[in-house]
Amino acid sequence: MSRPLSPLRRAPRLVLTAWVILVAVFAALALQLDGALSGGGFTAPRAEALVTQAGIERDFGDSPNQVVVVLDAGEAIGPGVIDDASALLHENGAASVTTPRERPDYASSDGRTVVIAAGFDGDNTVAQNLTPDLQEAVEALDDGVDGYVTGQPALDYQLNAHSKEDALRAELIVFPVLIIVLLIVFRSVAAAIVPLLIAGSSLAVALGVGYLIARETDVSNLYSNIVSMIGLAVSVDYSLFIVKRFREELDRGLSVRDAVDVAMQRAGHSVLFSGAAVIVALSALLVPRVMAFTSIALGGMIVTAVALVLTHTVLPAILGLLGRRIDWGRIPLPTRGRRASTARPSSTRATPARAISAIVALVGVAGLLAVSSPALGLSLQSPVASATVLPPDDPARVGLDVAAARIGVDDLFPLQVVVSADTREELVADVTTATRVLESHDEVASVTSVATAGIDPAALPALLTDGETPAELGALWTEGSTGPVARLLVTTDDGPDSVAAHDLVREIRADLPDELGASSTVAVAGATAQGLDFDETLIGALPTIALLVFVATFVLLVVAFRSVTLALLALAFNALVVGASLGALTLVQSATSDVPLNSVTPVLLFAVMFGLSMDYMVIIIARIAETVARGGDFGSAVGEGLRATRPMINSAALIMIVVFLAFMTGQISIVREIGLGLAIAVALDAVVIRTVVLPSVLRAIGPRVFGQRVRRRSQPVIS
């Protein structure tokens, strides 16, 4: 696969024509992607909370989508405004509307802040897409009243909208900066434009493919972010490696055809293994089977695969047609002499002693381990019943913040403890016991159940076991599909998004069943429980994700390097980089915010960085192997390989860092976390691992690092 396919080589103009048509078609599809993406996706669909929620909707008739309207004014809000808001919600399809008339606790004590909850049936995406129209309508209810649409559908919609804005903003920042960086790297307009064409094409095709997928299944809004983030990084870097090698071979006097062949055989084959490593690592994110991670994995895998296809078909066609015109538009920048890679290695060049190299390597590793240490105290939590991932001025976040400050949001996002039993008599006793146990808990603020409804406890058993359930208890007691079911609504002192609330869910699930009857079952739903289940699903999947990434990458590297030692070193270096970047990210997060890192960030950072950092290892080892195969001694070959690849790797690292830091301008906190984490990881990888640790370890181990002496007929296949 390292040589361009002969039919493609014979018809480069046909390849480019097909490329233009392909990009045009998928770009048209990509324009429709935003409307097809879904917000949210940070739930575990097979875990207890969502399964229980589905049962609640079936048995109690709750609507699946709860939209919340928050009204805030400088004086008490009149009943007319509340009625208008209620009518507005009904007009837009609300199946149920709850106002302060039914729930007095939905209004502040002074009446200046009011919450109205509306239940919408049907598809979540449909409910999300009502958000902009509802927001515009509630803002126009009364001149003196500020209106905000919030609740999970609105939060998901705004997350989707801001994700799109973040991706577009990052791309607008990145492309001009990339133009400047590539002009400096190549000192040629033509050579700088080529990687940008490949990058733009990769994004267009991957986004178009995303639209086709989104037509068949739910795809998270993070798909477009990860396509932009990973796509720009890998497509520009892969093109850079191949174009630089092509120009290098032209400088050595090769013909255009031979220069393309060598570039694809050497840099192209290295790129192929690097891209395969990215795809393999990202595929592990499919393990948790949650929408957000599946979307991220698909986005990264698809755009990397597209970049590989384009760099192995379109790029050689472009280079073949351009030929020596690749240097068109020379930039008159100061030169630094001939490329080191064109010089024949000298066997007499002095190299550091093995003992010194070993010490340098140990110091570098110790430094990275020290930077990694803060990650041991890493606090992870997905935000639930919270809008902290959104920018501070977003109406969905403002509404939730206003409600929390003036009224409290516990009643909007209670824990829902569902208890069932074989008989009504047993269930009455269970609910009474569960209410007493929960009310005695230090973290519980209130419990609402049939036992707290103000009915005489002595009359309650007969009331619930004889005949139909009273209407006022219908939201708390029902005859379910498998027998009687009761619901207890529990609020906490510290709020639904607190660590204490998460701990309470664990305690209820673990301890409450032991307090109830033999036939009783207990399950917990609600936003807090959903967030906890998501976090625990990720934690439970981490060993499998790590094992898959390590094993698959190891096999791939053994094939690439034909050396178990090199493959193990690559895995160790990657683990050091990921650990150090997580440690640095933890320090930054703790210094700038009291909110824990999103639980998505470290898992994504691990998978993405494990793939991306293979680029540098593969390129460096390939050059060292080439140099040794030409007759140089191993110590000199390490130095020559590093000198030949350092400008290219530094340029590639700078490009990746620029791309990732551009996403720091995002309004979504998780996008900023991922961008910063990846930028730190790439910087550590390029500056510490590839400049200090890798050469020192290679010199300390010596030629046996390849597993055998590298000869022309037994060198690593990547070379």
Indicate whether 432 and 518 sit together in one domain. Answer: yes
The arithmetic mean of pLDDT across residues 673-683, rounded, is 90
268 or 618, which is more confident? 268
Judge whether 489 and 526 are in contact, CB under 8 Å.
Answer: no
Asked, for residue 538, whether it belongs to a domain, the answer is: no
pLDDT at 170 over 80: yes
Q: Are residues 123 and 137 in the same domain?
A: yes
Tell me, yes or no, whether 679 and 576 share the same domain: yes
Query: Residue 449: is its pLDDT beyond 60?
Result: yes
Q: Which residue has the tokens 């939905």?
A: 106
What digits encode the pLDDT tens for the residues 425-434?
A: 899 899 999 9
Question: Mean of the pLDDT values across residues 601-611?
Answer: 84
| Residue 473 CB coordination number (10 Å) | 17
Residues 566-577 have a mean pLDDT of 90
Burial label, 40 (beta-carbon count in 10 A; 0-12, 13-18, 19+): buried
Instruction: Identify whether 549 is part of a domain.
Output: no
pLDDT tens-place string over residues 503-517 = 999 999 999 999 998
Domain contains 599: yes
| Same-domain check for residues 38 and 75 | no
Can you give the pLDDT at residue 225?
Answer: 87
* Mean pLDDT value of segment 261-283: 90
Question: Given a cut of 90, is residue 635 above it in pLDDT?
Answer: no
Which domain-ending residue is among 308, 335, 362?
335
Residue at 326: amino acid letter: I
Annotate 495-516 with b (16+ C-beta within 10 A) or e (fewer): bbbbeebbebbeebbeebbeeb
| CATH number reported for the structural domain that contains residue 128 in this entry | 3.30.70.260
Classify 5 as helix, strand or coil.
coil
What DSSP state is assigned to residue 15? Answer: H
In three-state secondary structure terms, 95 is coil
Mean pLDDT is highest, among 89-93, 386-390, 498-502, for: 89-93
Q: What is the pLDDT of residues 290-340, one digit of tens each?
A: 888 899 999 999 999 999 999 999 999 999 999 999 999 888 766 554 444
Range of the domain at 10: 1-62+187-335
Q: Half-sphere exposure (CA, 13 Å, Cβ side) for 383? A: 20
Contact of 302 with 36, CB cutoff 8 Å: no
Residue 149 and residue 69 in contact, taking contact as beta carbons nearer than 8 Å: yes
- Alpha-carbon span 675 to 687, nearest angstrom: 18
What CATH number is attached to the domain comprising 253?
1.20.1640.10
pTM: 0.83
How far, rounded to the nearest angstrom, does the alpha carbon of residue 189 sit from its chain's CA centroid? 34
> Is 162 inside any structural domain?
no
Mean pLDDT is highest, among 147-156, 380-389, 494-503, for 147-156
Residues 593, 621 within the same domain: yes
* Domain end point (choices 525, 550, 580): 525
The mean pLDDT value for 233-240 works out to 93
Residue 175: pLDDT over 80: yes
Beta bridge partners of 478: 485
pLDDT at 467: 64
Q: Tell me the average pLDDT of the chain.
A: 86
- Total of domains in the chain: 4
- Reply yes or no on whether the pLDDT at 342 is more than 50: no
Q: Please say which residue of 508, 525, 542 terminates a domain.
A: 525
- Where do runs of H (alpha helix) occur along 446-563? 460-465, 499-515, 527-561
Give pLDDT, residue 304.
Answer: 96
Q: Helices in 92-221 by DSSP H: which ranges?
A: 124-129, 131-139, 152-186, 189-214
Which residue would you say has higher pLDDT here, 693 or 667? 693
Mean pLDDT across 475-497: 88
Return d(Cα 628, Cα 645) in angstroms, integer. 15
216: helix, coil or strand? coil
Q: Are residues 25 and 100 in the same domain?
A: no
Percent of the chain with pLDDT over 90: 47
Residues 323 and 368 grouped into a single domain: no
How many of the other CB atoms lie within 10 Å of CB of 547? 12
Is 470 part of a structural domain of the chain?
yes
Strand, coil or helix: what is 151?
strand
Whether 602 and 567 have beta carbons less than 8 Å apart is answered as no
User: Do residues 75 and 221 share a domain?
Assistant: no
Whole-number Å distance between alpha carbons of 246 and 260 = 6
What pLDDT score does 337 carry?
A: 47
pLDDT at 2: 43
Is 623 inside a domain boundary?
Answer: yes
**CATH code for the domain of 478:** 3.30.70.1320
Structure tokens at 483: 């027998």
Tell whether 688 is covered by a domain: yes
Question: Per the domain annotation, does 553 fall within a domain?
Answer: no
C-alpha–C-alpha distance, residues 673 and 82, integer Å: 40
Closest C-alpha to 40, from 425, 449, 476, 385: 385
Residues of the chain with pLDDT > 70, as a percent, come to 93
Q: Are 233 and 659 contacting, i.e. CB atoms less than 8 angstroms apart?
A: yes
What is residue 32's predicted lDDT score, i.e. its pLDDT? 93
CA torsion sign, 196 to 199 to 201 to 204? negative
Task: Judge if 492 and 566 occupy the same domain.
Answer: no
* Claim to verify: residue 202 and residue 243 sit in the same structural domain: yes
Which helix (DSSP H) or strand (DSSP E) does residue 683 occupy? helix 669-684
**Helices and strands (H, E) in the chain, number of each type:** 25, 9
Same-domain pairing of 708 and 580: yes
Q: Is the pLDDT of residue 644 over 80?
A: yes
Distances 607 to 236, 282, 283, 300, 348 between C-alpha atoms, Å = 20, 5, 8, 10, 42
> What backbone torsions phi and psi does residue 502 show, to the nearest 5 degrees?
-65, -45
My answer on whether 604 and 679 are in the same domain is: yes
Output the 3-class SS for 336-405.
Answer: CCCCHHHCCCCCCCCCCCHHHHHHHHHHHHHHHHHHHHHHHHCCECCCCCCCCCCCCCCHHHHHHHHHHH
